[in-house]
A = this chain, B = another copy of it.
Amino acid sequence: MSNKTQPARGMRDFLPADVRKRNYVIGIIKEVYEKYGFEPLETPAVENLETLTGKYGEEGGQLMFKILKRGEKLDVSQGEKGLSDLALRYDLTVPLARVVANYKNDLPKFFKRYQIQPVWRADRPARGRFREFYQCDVDAIGSSSMVVEAELISAVCEILQRLGFEDFIVRLNDRRILTQIVKSAGISEEKSTDALVALDKLDKIGSEGVEKELIERGIDESEAQLFVAMFEGFAGLEKANESQNTSGFDSFNQAFLNRWEEGFDENDLDELKTVKDFRQLISFCENISANQYIKIDPSLARGLSYYTGAIFEINVPDLAGSLGGGGRYDGLIGMFGKEQIPACGFSLGLERILVVMEERGMFPEELERASADVLVTIWDENSVGESLKLANELRQSGLRVFVYPEAHKLDKQLKYASQINVPFVCVMGENELKENKITLKNMQKREQQIVAREEIVQEIKRNADGSSASRK
């Protein structure tokens, strides 16, 4: 018999009020993704270890929850080897890649899927960081058209708007632009990742910090200076265009594209393609209702190494991290098959969205309502059947009904109704039963009335409309 009743470290129980909030957000995410033609996919929590091994870098290998082999398969003689054959899902992208390879013939050529499921990482728990958390992924497989990026950005913006966010920014960049900037600064290809890792910290450590880190990472001082100077130039451009900013960030976005094009080499076909793609994406975004939220950010790098094209990230002012991010990864899906299949995706962080919405009080009032609309009391043991019958009728009409389970004194039953905050109580005492009537108590107004049995449903609904109207 254990008296440890807490959930495991870094894991959480969700009591009813929590579940309702989570389901509210998930419901909107699903609804919007389905409007964009994305389809639901679910994969098992447990994957073969070899499916996941080597996909998440060294850190991923350490943070993965591995499952002990069962029975005779367990071989402890060789140390950690031979102990595990399965692991918990670490993200939703590798399972997607596996699914695309496995069901190739059953899936449409342009497979658009969303997937909202928990993942597990043995991270050190911290504020807002858990060992079990939900990812809300959406990915479009099979096309390298910028229509895909535009649609993804549009869907994600619509979700945030529907949830009530008004002050988010979709930062947009392209890995190929970053690569070209690195090249223009004279930094060698093998130092490219170092340059991007340092750049990723620009917000935190500033230009000087980045320059210092570049030099520490073995990049020549002159190259580092040039590299940093280019981003300072873009920042200056941004400042210059702030005052002209009439609708969103159009003015800076266009200025950046022009500045950037000035520097590119017209004989470089890769560069030409990048310019064309990125210009196209920006122009597509102008047709999206959320265009005002979209801002080019040439310093956006994104941590993951697998991105090959556009990258995006969503921020709000009152959260240090991002609400979500994504990008194009044309090489990743092919890792389980022979074919390279283009893909672009976005992942929303459910837990972060919930944190911000909680802090800002963004959840609709109806999520706070009681677990039932009506409590039906029990008068005595002989009339329980009548109470059950009434509950049944009320439920048929769509009301959520709690039947008090015991023939306690009425006072005690009413007190409980107050405690659980239920708005209406039905009492059927001896007189009411004789006369085929019901005493209806409006708990918010502290009023009661005698209602004919056959009118009780309408009467409750009439009262309910009244009280929700008066609350407004």
Which A positions have Cβ atoms within 8 angstroms of B?
A: 1-8, 11-16, 18-20, 22-23, 34-48, 50-51, 62, 65-68, 70-71, 74, 76, 79-80, 83-84, 86, 88, 95, 98-99, 101-103, 106-110, 112-113, 118, 120, 122, 131-132, 140, 143, 145, 147-148, 150-151, 154, 158, 280, 283-284, 286-289, 335-337, 371-372, 378, 381, 384-386, 388-389, 391-392, 395, 398-407, 416, 419-420
Bound-complex Cα distance A416 to B405 (A):
57
B120 touches A45 (CB 8 A): yes
Most buried by B among A5, A395, A402: A5
Q: What are 8 A-B contacts with C-beta separation under 8 Å?
A: A2-B51, A4-B51, A8-B47, A12-B44, A19-B41, A37-B403, A44-B132, A287-B388
Given A11-B44, A42-B13, A388-B151, are A68 and B67 also a contact pair (CB < 8 Å)? yes
Bound-complex Cα distance A84 to B70 (A):
12
Contact partner of A5 among B4, B13, B102, B280, CB < 8 A?
A: B102
Bound-complex Cα distance A22 to B5 (A):
32
A101 touches B402 (CB 8 A): no
What's the nearest-Cβ distance from chain B to residue A1, in Å? 6
What's the nearest-Cβ distance from chain B to residue A434, in Å? 18
A384 touches B71 (CB 8 A): no
A-B pairs with lowest CB-CB distance, top 9: A37-B402, A11-B44, A16-B39, A5-B102, A143-B405, A19-B40, A14-B42, A37-B372, A145-B405
B7 touches A47 (CB 8 A): yes
Bound-complex Cα distance A197 to B116 (A):
42
Given A68-B66, A120-B45, are A284 and B385 also a contact pair (CB < 8 Å)? yes
Which partner residue on chain B sits nearest A1 by CB separation?
B335
In the bound complex, residues from chain B placing their C-beta under 8 Å from that of A395 are 35-36, 158
Contact partner of A36 among B5, B50, B67, B401, CB < 8 A?
A: B401
In the bound complex, residues from chain B placing their C-beta under 8 Å from that of A23 are 40
Bound-complex Cα distance A420 to B6 (A):
48
A398 touches B35 (CB 8 A): yes
B68 touches A5 (CB 8 A): no
Most buried by B among A22, A68, A79, A108: A68
A83 touches B68 (CB 8 A): yes
Contact partner of A147 among B22, B43, B88, B384, CB < 8 A?
A: B384
